[in-house]
Amino acid sequence: MTRALRRLLIAATFLSALLVASPAAACGYDTECRVELEDSAATVGFEGAGVSEVVGVGGPEYFQYAYRLLDPCLAAAETRGYCSPTDVRECPEQPDRVMGYFVVDRRPIVPSQGPAVEPVPNGFGPGDPIGDWSYFREGCFDITPLNPPPSPGEVFSYFERLPLPTLTTQHQPPGNGLSGLPVIFYTDSPTTQTFTVDVRGFTVVIEARATQYTWHTGDPASPAVVSTDPGRPYPNETVEHDYRSGTYTASLTVTWGATFSINGSAPQNVPGTTTTDGPPVTFDVLQARPVLTDPYN
Amino acid sequence: MVAGLVLGTALLSGCSEATEANDTLPSASPAPTTEALPPIGPADFPVPNEARTKDAASAEAFLRYWIDLINRQRSLLAGQPLRDLGPECRDCLRIANNYDEAAAAGRHFEGGELSLNDVTEPQFSGDEVSITFGIRREAVVLMDAAGAPVDDGLPMQPNLGSGITLAWSEPDKSWLVLSMTLG
C-alpha cells in the first residue's frame, strides 16, 4: 500500500481503542490478517465488542457472527489494489456524534448460546471464528461509542512524528576561538511550537517545548554539556566550554516534551519525549601567544 | 484335471438360461465420449477432475486442491493462479499480491505450509457453497534477499478457524473462490 494511500486512509478513517488487530506485518502472510494499522496512529476500521451494536444487529445473529467495519477505501484497495476518490464517502454530520461510512463484514463464530450458522469443526469453542469474512452491508454508522478520545499514548505516537524544529548552534566568539577563552554556546531558534492535529475527528492541540539541551562540544575530553536553558550570548552566557587548540565540530540535540488538550480540554502532559538534532558547526580554536609591544611606538 | 472339470461345471451351472450369439455387426454410430473440460488452473497443476462437478464432494476436493495451490504458489512466489481462481476474493488477492511483491523484492517465505485439519460438510446456497474448517499453519517468516528475516514472522498455529465460500462457474465447469479467511 502506498504512503499516499495510507495518508488518504488516515484522513478518511478513524481509530478504535476496541480494535483487535495484529501488527501490520501479519498481513504479509497467508493467515491471521486483521485490519491493518498504520503505526497505531490511524486505522481503517473497527473490530470487536461493540461493533454489532453500532451495526444494529440483534437476535440470534448477535451471537452467531463477529462483525467489523471497514473503510470503503481499504476494502477497495484490498480488492483491486488502489483506492479512488469515489471510494471515500461522506456522511451527514450530527451534533456531538462521529459518523462514518463503512463496509460491514461479518464472520461466523461458535455462538455462546443458540445454534451455529455453520458446522463447527473439531477443536473450536464459543467465541472462536469458524468461517470466512463476507460482505454484510454498508452505509453510514454512528461510531461515537467506538471512538473514545485519544489516549495519552496515542497522542504521543503523533507527537513523535511531528516536524519539530532543529535548533541551530550559535557560538561566541564568532569564527575562531582562543584556547583559554571559553567558547560560549547558545541557540536563538524557537524553543516552543504549537501543533494542531486531527486524531479520529478530535482536535488535539500539542504544545511542544524544549526541555533539555545537549551541546555536543566535539571535544573528546568533555564531549557534552547539558543544560535546561537555550544558553545566552555574552555577557549573559550560561553555557560555555574550554577548548584546547584544534578544530572542533559542535552541534545541539534538543529533548522535547509536550502538553496536549483535546477539543479545548485542560492540558495534560504527553507521556514521553522526543529529540531533534541540529546542524553541526565547525570552528578552530587557536593558541594565543603573548607578544611584547611598545604602546608608544 | 478333476478340479478343473468341477470348476467348469460349477461356472456353467451359474447360467440360468442360454443366450443366442449375436450374428449382426455393431452399428456405425460412434460411441459417446466424455466432453473435454475447459482447462483451468496452472497448466502443470490444473484443477483436478474430481473438483469439477457441482456437488459436495467436488467442493471439498476443490478446497483441498486450493490449499495445495496456495502452498505451491508460496514457494514459487507467483500469485496469478490465485487471482485466476479467486478473482473476486479479497483475501486471495491480498495473498497473491504478497507473493508477487516478495518476488519483486527478492524476498522469499520460509515455512508457512498449510494443512487441513477437520473439514465440515459443505453448506449449499444456490450456486454457492461454504465450508468451515480448521487449518494448521507451520511457523513462517519472510526473508530478504540476503537471507535475513524481514520481520518476526508468525509462530506455528495448530488449528486456525477458517472458512471458504465457493461459487460454481458453469462456463469453467469449476468452482471459483468467492471469499476465504484463514485464521
Whether B6 shows a pLDDT value over 80: the answer reads no
Could you tell me what percent of chain B has a pLDDT over 70?
81
Test A124 with B97 for CB contact under 8 angstroms.
no
Least Cα separation, residue A123 to chain B (angstroms): 7
A132 at B interface, C-beta within 8 A = yes
Residue numbers in A near B157 (CB within 8 A): 31-32
Q: How far is CA A25 from CA A72, A200, A259, in A?
A: 21, 23, 32
Range of the structural domain that residue B78 is part of: 49-182
Per mean pLDDT, which range of A16-30, A221-235, B83-97 is the poorest? Answer: A16-30
pLDDT, residue B22, reads 56
> Averaged over B7-21, what is the pLDDT?
42
Least Cα separation, residue B142 to chain A (angstroms): 8
Nearest CB neighbour to B179, from listed A75, A128, A133: A133
Residue numbers in B near A125 (CB within 8 A): none
More confident residue, A74 or B132: B132
Nearest CB neighbour to B157, from listed A31, A124, A132: A31
In a domain, B15, yes or no: no
Test B120 with A119 for CB contact under 8 angstroms.
yes
Test A29 with B98 for CB contact under 8 angstroms.
yes
Domain of residue B176, CATH code:
3.10.450
Residue numbers in A near B98 (CB within 8 A): 27-30
What three-state secondary structure class fits B128?
A: strand
Number of domains comprising chain B: 1
Residue numbers in A near B151 (CB within 8 A): 23, 25, 28
Nearest CB neighbour to A30, from listed B88, B95, B153: B95
Residue numbers in A near B91 (CB within 8 A): 33, 78, 132-133
> Averaged over B165-170, what is the pLDDT?
97
Whether B38 shows a pLDDT value over 90: the answer reads yes
Strand order in the sheet with A170-172: A170-172, A183-186, A240-241
pLDDT digits (tens, 9 = 90+) for B51-78: 999 999 999 999 999 999 999 999 999 9
Per mean pLDDT, which range of A20-34, A120-134, A231-245, A273-287 is the poorest? Answer: A20-34
In a domain, B127, yes or no: yes
Q: What angle do CA A15, A16, A21 make, to 5 degrees?
A: 95
pLDDT digits (tens, 9 = 90+) for A180-223: 899 999 999 999 999 999 887 788 999 999 999 999 999 999 99
Residue A77 pLDDT grade (very low, low, confident, very high; cuts 50, 70, 90) = confident
Test B182 with A122 for CB contact under 8 angstroms.
no
Residue numbers in B near A23 (CB within 8 A): 151
Calpha distance A13→B86 (Å, rounded): 28
Position of cell 467465541? Answer: A127
pLDDT, residue A93, reads 85
Nearest CB neighbour to A128, from listed B135, B153, B161: B161
Phi, psi for A221 (deg, rounded to 5): -70, -30
pLDDT, residue B5, reads 35
User: Which residues share a beta bridge with A19?
Assistant: none
Question: Residue A95 CB: number of other CB atoms within 10 A?
Answer: 4
The fold of the A162-286 domain, in CATH, is Immunoglobulin-like (2.60.40)
A81 at B interface, C-beta within 8 A = yes
Test A121 with B117 for CB contact under 8 angstroms.
yes
Calpha distance B164→B132 (Å, rounded): 7
pLDDT, residue A47, reads 75
pLDDT digits (tens, 9 = 90+) for B113-163: 999 999 999 999 999 999 999 999 999 999 999 999 999 999 999 999 999
Contact, A213 vs A230, CB < 8 A?
Answer: yes
Q: How far is CA A133 from CA A80, A110, A160, in A?
A: 17, 14, 35
Residue numbers in A near B132 (CB within 8 A): 108, 118-121, 130-131
Residue A9 pLDDT grade (very low, low, confident, very high; cuts 50, 70, 90) = very low
Kindly give the residue spans of alpha helices, DSSP state H, lying in B79-131: 80-85, 90-104
Peptide bond into A173 cis (omega under 30): yes
Per mean pLDDT, which range of A15-29, A66-80, A131-145 is the poorest? Answer: A15-29
Test B164 with A132 for CB contact under 8 angstroms.
yes
Interface test with B, best of A29, A36, A71 (most B CBs within 10 A): A29
Test A25 with B120 for CB contact under 8 angstroms.
no
Compute the mean pLDDT over every residue in chain A, rounded to the nearest whole number: 84
Nearest CB neighbour to B97, from listed A25, A29, A81: A81
Q: How far is CA A22 from CA A206, A215, B52, B130, in A?
A: 28, 41, 37, 26
In a domain, B1, yes or no: no
Whether A75 shows a pLDDT value over 50: the answer reads yes
Least Cα separation, residue A119 to chain B (angstroms): 6
